[in-house]
Amino acid sequence: MRYPPVYFLKQMNTFIIKGFMILFVSCVTIKLNLCSPNTPSFNTLPLDGHFNFHEVHHAARDFGNRYQFLPMAVLHPKTVSDIATTIKHIWDMGPRSELTVAARGHGHSLQGQAQTHRGVVINMESLKGPEIQVYTGSSPYVDVSGGELWINILHESLKYGLAPKSWTDYLHLTIGGTLSNAGISGQAFRHGPQISNVHQLEVVTGKGEVINCSEEQNEDLFHSVLGGLGQFGIITRARISLEAAPARVKWIRVLYSDFAAFTQDQEHLISAENTFDYVEGFVIINRTGLLNNWRSSFNSKDPVQASQFKSDGRTLFCLELAKYFNLDKTDLINEEVENLLSQLSYIRSTLFMSEVAYIDFLDRVHVSEIKLRSKDLWDVPHPWLNLLIPKSKIHTFADEVFGSILTATSNGPILIYPVNRSKWDNRTSVVIPEEHIFYLVAFLTSAVPSSTGTDGLEHILTQNKRILEFCETAHLGVKQYLPHYTTKKEWQAHFGPRWEAFVQRKSAYDPLAILAPGQRIFQKAIPFS
């Protein structure tokens, strides 16, 4: 029997020692990670749902497609108790832990607001509460999970001939997501935003408490959470007001070349007693999206007339209107529409009208989403900018922005329409201009990946910056909708005199700043005031 040479034994010993050291270091690393106060083991928590520590990359992206913050884990809750238990566990760890929690609905945030770096993302669409429950009667309403999509509520409530009163243009968003902001569309002038049509909420606070709240019960928390940007609690259930749903919609678009006439007609319509059910508008630069754009499936009954219209390179303004009706009222509605249109000062050769089912009108953006997804044009950067502008400043704003900053083309729809301040509740957390009428102006741009031209991300961001700088230097009193700031000073300016109340609410309901770190308003373990 031959023995191995000495040098071979030395090599074997070296290999064994190195292997042992690697194993030892690895075990120490694993032990340190498990014992670190910043990465606790959640596996011992009594949950009906589960944590995923590996498939987390999807939670580090959103519709804005610009920010990516990788979480430590994603919670897939089945019950509200799962959410409360997780937050309470982090709350009990105290300020020594850097862990934060972000509630993620359908991932439609724009600036990483539903993300958290090395924290816990709660997948709200996994929440399996009671099914959607519709209650009929003189004051109908629907009880829904905070992770439910508005489109599903529409489908279910329509079975009873009912529907929510106020919408967003895009329905594939969660209840908790839109109620944490406001929820605005062309019905807001009449019914207010979605947060003005809520009867009751179930909320999990930053302390892990599950609290029911309404105007009669825990009123301060109720109003704090509505429009609260997720800072005070996670909405796990909501009771939404309903009304009788129509069957059909007269869908109309008319064009203006004069901005003053355009805004005057809009303001007239939202102030009239007998008017349309939906009033929006958008800007057409260089004939971009004259009739169609990604947010609609509008089909004119007179495409020949549409193609013959000459814009002569002018910036045009399109007034978009809708009148809801049932088939037994068709003749009456036709007369009403004709009468309302006769009061407007649009270009007479540009009346484009369509008629669609109510559900097709409300879900119009989804049709275009499907088309864009098929062309790989949906998951691109969306550097959107949404502004709320006082009525008295809208002409100053338009002169500069549409006359100087944006002149060549637009990289997506530019919405512009007025709403009535009287339909908003001052007790909620949302910040709006002080005037009785203010405008939403939304630059819903899409950037072409890797482009360095006018359709590239950097060019669009530069335009957005110019618009914001003009608003500030001209003292227009503009407020951002879906606001995004990076410094405490900017947030203080946004909230103005309401900042102290906002800070006090944070101290009451999420004193450790565990919730919604992606909003970048408060930083954990740093004093708020």
Catalytic residue among 148, 202, 265, 280: 280
The answer to whether 382 touches 461, Cβ cutoff 8 Å, is: no
Residues, the chain: 529
Q: ∠ CA(341), CA(344), CA(347), 5° rounding?
A: 95
Let me know whether 114 and 152 are in one domain: no
SS3 283: strand
| DSSP letter, residue 290 | S
The answer to whether 31 touches 23, Cβ cutoff 8 Å, is: no
Where residue 122 sits, what CATH number does that domain have?
3.30.43.10
Where residue 167 sits, what CATH number does that domain have?
3.30.465.10
Q: What is the pLDDT of residue 516?
A: 98
pLDDT per 10-residue tile (average), the chain, 529 residues:
44 48 41 42 90 95 95 97 97 93 96 96 89 95 97 98 98 97 98 98 98 98 98 98 98 96 98 97 73 49 50 83 96 97 95 95 93 89 97 98 86 94 97 97 94 92 97 98 96 97 98 97 76
Let me know whether 434 and 453 are in one domain: yes
Catalytic residue among 108, 223, 382, 484: 108
Let me know whether 379 and 455 are in one domain: yes
Sign of CA dihedral 319, 296, 274, 416: negative
How many whole angstroms separate alpha carbon 438 and alpha carbon 415? 13
Give the 3-state DSSP-derived string for 329-354, with helices as H, strands as E and coil as C.
HHHHHHHHHHHHHHCCCCCHHHCEEE
Nearest to 355 by CA among 399, 301, 403: 301
Let me know whether 461 and 407 are in one domain: yes
Let me know whether 302 and 401 are in one domain: yes
Q: What is the pLDDT of residue 356?
A: 96
Q: What is the pLDDT of residue 524?
A: 87
Alpha helices in 94-196 (DSSP H): 150-158, 175-179, 188-191
SS3 121: strand
**Do the domain assignments include residue 498?**
no
Let me know whether 238 and 382 are in one domain: no
**Do the domain assignments include residue 521?**
no
The answer to whether 187 touches 278, Cβ cutoff 8 Å, is: yes
- Give Cβ neighbours of residue 521 (< 8 Å, ≥ 6 apart): 229, 231, 485, 488, 491, 506
Question: What pTM value is reported for the model?
Answer: 0.89
Q: How far apart are the first and last CA of the chain?
A: 81
**For the chain, what is the total number of helices (H) and then of strands (E)?**
15, 18
Q: Is residue 108 annotated as part of the catalytic site, yes or no?
A: yes
Let me know whether 270 and 412 are in one domain: yes
Let me know whether 377 and 327 are in one domain: yes
Domain boundary among 126, 157, 177: 126
Catalytic residue among 143, 148, 169, 202: 169
Let me know whether 231 and 256 are in one domain: no
Let me know whether 105 and 144 are in one domain: no
The answer to whether 391 touches 436, Cβ cutoff 8 Å, is: yes
**Do the domain assignments include residue 8?**
no
How many whole angstroms separate alpha carbon 227 and alpha carbon 195? 7
Let me know whether 80 and 107 are in one domain: yes
Which residues span the domain enclosing 156? 133-245
C-alpha torsion angle, residues 90, 78, 44, 29 (rounded to 10) = -70
As for how many domains the chain has, the answer is 3
**Do the domain assignments include residue 283?**
yes
Element holding 364 (H helix, E strand) = helix 364-374
Q: Output the six-digit token pair for 84.
A: 């409360």
How many whole angstroms separate alpha carbon 379 and alpha carbon 373? 8
Q: Is residue 172 annotated as part of the catalytic site, yes or no?
A: no
Q: Is residue 400 annotated as part of the catalytic site, yes or no?
A: no
Domain boundary among 91, 126, 161: 126
How many whole angstroms separate alpha carbon 297 and alpha carbon 92? 51
The answer to whether 38 touches 99, Cβ cutoff 8 Å, is: yes
The answer to whether 234 touches 83, Cβ cutoff 8 Å, is: yes
Q: What is the pLDDT of residue 293?
A: 47
**Do the domain assignments include residue 62?**
yes
Let me know whether 328 and 433 are in one domain: yes
